[in-house]
Amino acid sequence: MLIYNIFYISVVNDIRFMGSMKTIGMTGKQVRSMLNWQVVRLAAAGILAGTLAGTGLNVLVIRLLADAQLSFARYYEVGGSLVYAAAAGAFFAAVTVCISSRKALSLAAKVSPVEAARFRASGKKKKVFAVISFALSGILFCALFTAFVGYDTEWMADRMNEADYKVYQYHADQVMDDPYEPIDMEFAQKVADVDFADESYIYYRASNIGAEPDDGVYPEALGAVKFEGRIREVAEEEMELTGVNETWASEVSGVLESGSDYETGILGMDASALPMEAKNLNVYDGELDPEKFASGDYLIYQSVNTLFAGEDFEYSGMNAGEEITLSFAVPGTDSYVEKTFTVMAVVGTKPDCYAGEMATGTVQLVISDDAFREIYGEQADQMVSSILINTSGQDEAAYQAELEDMVKESLNTQIRVTSKYETRLSEESQKTQKVCIGIFVGIIVGLIGMANIVNTLVTGVLSRKIEYAALQSVGMTKRQMAGDIFVQGMKMILISLVILVPLGYPVTQMLSQYPLSTGFRPELYAVSIAMVTVAGVLLAAAVSGILTETLNRKTVVERLREAE
C-alpha cells in the first residue's frame, strides 16, 4: 500500500507533464515504458539495499534476542535459511512493486491531454477507504497494545504457584521410567526449616511405593481404598455421568468388582494450609473450616468432574455432612486401615488454575496430616510429596539458589524446585517477546492506515494546487493554507476515531483474555486510544506543513502558469 501511494502521488504530481508529452506526440505506451523504466531502476536499487539491510538486521536482532534468552531465538542459527529468506524477500518485493505500480502507470498511459489539464483526484471513495483503513489499523494497534502491555506476570505466577517456593517429588504427580524414590523425611524437615521461611507446610500423598511398572512405566503416586459402600456408589454415579460404562470400567480398571482396590489420590495436609488452598478452589457443597479439619475426623472430596469446573457447575454425588467409612490399603501388605470421616466439603479446582496440591487429574480424598500418619504409620515418612514455603521475598534469587543446592545435595533426581520467582522470570521473558512482536505488528499495520491518510491528503492537495495558487493570489497566507489542509486531515482522523472507539472495545476485550493475555485493562485501552489520536494529529500537522512548504517552493505566478 505504501509503494502504491508513492507511485500514485508521483504520477498525480506530474500528470500535467504527462498531458504535455502526449500533446507533442508521445503515445500512452511510450509514457508507460518511460515510467516503467523508472520503476525498474528504483525497485532494483531499493530491493538490493533492503535485502542487504534486512539480512544484517536479521543477524543482529536474532543475536540480541538470543543474548536476552528469549525463547523463540534460542533455536535459530544463521545459515542457509537466511539465504533462502533473502531470496524470497527480494522476489516478494519485486512482485509487490510490480502490482503496486500498475494503477499509477495505467493512469499515466490512459489520461488524455485535456483530462490531464483538468485532473483532480476523486475524493469520496479515497476518503472512505482512508478512514476505514485508519480505523481498522487503529483497532488492531489498540488491541495488541492493551493485550500485551497488560500481560500481568504476577497473575501468571499466582496461577501456577500457590506458595512462594515449592520443593516436590516430581514422580508423585507424573509417570516415569524409573521407580518411585521417596523424599527423605529428614530432608523434608530441613527444607521446611530454612531460615528464610515465614511459614512452611509438608504435604503427603499416598503411594504404592513398590508398584510394578506397567509396560515399562511406573505410575504416579496413587493410594487405594476398598471399592465398597458409599465410595463405590459415588464412583459409579460419577462414571455414569462422564460416560464410562461398566464394561469399559471392568475391563480396563477392574474397579467395579466389589471389594477390589479403588485407586485414587489421597492427600494429607496441614490444616493451617487450608486457607491457602482455598484460594484455588470452588466449593460446591459445605465449607472449608481449618479448625474442624485439624481434628482429623473430616474429609474434603474432589471429584474428577469438578476439576477445573466453573463456579456454576452443578455437582451431584458426594454430599457435605454425610459420614463415609473408608478402608485404606496399606502398601506392601494385604491389610487395610478402616476410618470413618465426615465429608466437610466437596470442592473443585478453579478453571485455568494450576496452583494448589489438589490440581491433579484424579479423585482426591483430602485428609489432615495427622489422620494421614495415623493411617499409614511409619510408611507416611516415605510419602512426602511436597514442601511449600512462603517468605518475605527480600532476596528471591538467593532463596531459589539455596533450595536448588539443597536438592542437588539430596542426590534424589526426582526432587524438583519451582517458585513464583522462577515463573515470574519466565513470564516476564514471555511478556517481553509478546510486547515486541505485538507492538511491531501494530506499528506496521498502523503505518498502512497512516499511509492511506497521507495518500488521500497529498493527492487531493496536488490536484488542487492551481486552486491554492489562485487563493494565495487573492490573499490566502501560508498559515491559512496549512490550516485548511490540517482540517481536511483531522476530519478523516476524527471519523476514524468514531469508528475505532466502540468497535475496538469488544475486540480488545476478547484478545485480552487468557491465553493471549491475562485480562482486559480499560486504562491501557484508553492510553492506546490516546496514542492513536496523538499519532493522527501529528500526522495531519506534519503532512499539512510539508505540503504547504512544498507547494510554496514555487511562486504563485509560476504555479498559475502551469494551468495555461
* Tens of pLDDT, residues 394-419: 899 999 999 999 999 999 999 999 99
β-pair type (165-169, 415-419): antiparallel
pLDDT at 394: 82
pLDDT at 249: 46
Distance of CA 395 to the CA centre of its chain: 29
Which distant-in-sequence residues (6+ apart) come within 8 Å of 400 by Cβ? 165, 417, 419, 421, 422
Q: Could you report the per-residue pLDDT of 122-174, keeping only the tens digit for each?
A: 557 778 888 998 999 999 999 999 999 999 999 899 989 999 999 999 988 88
pLDDT tops 50 at residue 541: yes
pLDDT at 255: 44
Measured CA to CA in angstroms, residue 46 lies from 1, 39, 43, 61, 151 at distances of 16, 10, 5, 21, 38
Residue 438 and residue 147 in contact, taking contact as beta carbons nearer than 8 Å: yes
Q: Where are the alpha helices (DSSP H) in 224-270?
A: 229-241, 246-252
Distance of CA 232 to the CA centre of its chain: 43
The Cα 412–Cα 182 span in angstroms is 8
The Cα 64–Cα 84 span in angstroms is 22
Confidence bin at 4 (pLDDT 50/70/90)? low
Which distant-in-sequence residues (6+ apart) come within 8 Å of 171 by Cβ? 178, 180, 181, 218, 220, 221, 414
Q: Could you report the per-residue pLDDT of 431-443, keeping only the tens digit for each?
A: 888 888 888 888 8
pLDDT at 2: 61
N residues, the chain: 564
The Cα 289–Cα 311 span in angstroms is 19
Nearest to 152 by CA among 529, 427, 385, 546: 427
Q: Please state at what angle helix 478-511 crosses helix 124-149, rounded to 10 degrees.
A: 50
CB-CB neighbours of 559 under 10 Å: 19
Q: Could you report the per-residue pLDDT of 75-99, keeping only the tens digit for each?
A: 556 666 777 888 888 888 888 888 7
pLDDT at 313: 87
Q: Could you report the per-residue pLDDT of 10-52, keeping only the tens digit for each?
A: 776 677 777 777 778 788 788 788 888 888 888 888 888 888 8
* More confident: 540 or 361: 540
Q: Could you report the per-residue pLDDT of 209-263, keeping only the tens digit for each?
A: 777 787 778 888 889 999 999 999 998 888 776 654 444 444 434 444 555 788 8
Residue 559 and residue 469 in contact, taking contact as beta carbons nearer than 8 Å: yes
Confidence bin at 282 (pLDDT 50/70/90)? very high
The Cα 42–Cα 202 span in angstroms is 71
pLDDT at 118: 65
Residue 74 is classified by DSSP as T
Q: Could you report the per-residue pLDDT of 450-499, keeping only the tens digit for each?
A: 888 888 888 788 778 888 888 888 989 999 999 999 999 999 999 999 99
Residue 481 and residue 548 in contact, taking contact as beta carbons nearer than 8 Å: yes
Confidence bin at 379 (pLDDT 50/70/90)? very high
